[in-house]
Amino acid sequence: MNKRERIKIVFLYGVFICYILLLIKILLVSRISYSGPRSINLIPFYSIKEYIYSNSATIKRFAFGNVIGNIAIFIPLGAYLSLFKNDKKVITNLLFIFIVSLFVEIIQGLLSIGALDIDDIILNCLGGLIGILGYKFLLFILRDEKKVHTAITILSAIGLPLILFYLFMGRMRF
């Protein structure tokens, strides 16, 4: 491995660490001030159905942000898992994403810092799957693992300022 490849790997791991810190901030730390009642939903698609059938514009706006946010926040995890792990199987990476999402939801439920919601796990897994399939798509198009690494490095370089902004200066209102 030459010096350029080592720098690229160190950069990718650095961005990945920043992303993990952002996940922790969004999913756990930013919710610590939440002092509402403990909310648990174990019925798949119940919350999403409630959002869809609501007559309130405020709830629909919140729902859209919640659904899209839960998907979007796990897309990078799917891509990075595919990038870093030797086992590139979709099901293995998706299982890891499921476990991470389940762990986060259990912590939120136990500490009353959000809602333990099966729909969040489903949406997080969908986001992770999009990231995994995005990686596979890049591999199919570029047909070379090194080119995929370069493409993800470029995407990471573009996304890093956003991650750092939200990590250190952005106020989370999820």
| Cα 84–chain centre separation | 16
Q: What is the pLDDT of residue 165?
A: 83
41: part of which helix (H) or strand (E)? strand 39-41
Which string of DSSP letters, residue by residue, matches 58-124?
A: HHHHHHHHHHHHHHHTTHHHHHHHHHH-S---HHHHHHHHHHHHHHHHHHHHHHTSSEEEHHHHHHH
Q: What is the pLDDT of residue 36?
A: 60
Q: What is the pLDDT of residue 171?
A: 57
Per-residue tokens: 33: 């001030």
CA distance 142 to 104: 34
Beta-bridged to residue 115, according to DSSP, are 39
Q: What is the pLDDT of residue 174?
A: 42
Q: What is the mean pLDDT of each run of 10 residues along the chain (174 residues)?
A: 89 93 86 66 90 83 86 95 89 96 91 87 97 96 93 91 78 49
* Residue 132: Cβ-neighbour burial (10 angstroms; 0-12, 13-18, 19+): buried
CA distance 93 to 59: 33
Q: What is the pLDDT of residue 32?
A: 67
The answer to whether 94 touches 125, Cβ cutoff 8 Å, is yes
CA distance 134 to 155: 12
Q: What is the pLDDT of residue 74?
A: 96
Q: What is the pLDDT of residue 26?
A: 86
The answer to whether 78 touches 85, Cβ cutoff 8 Å, is no
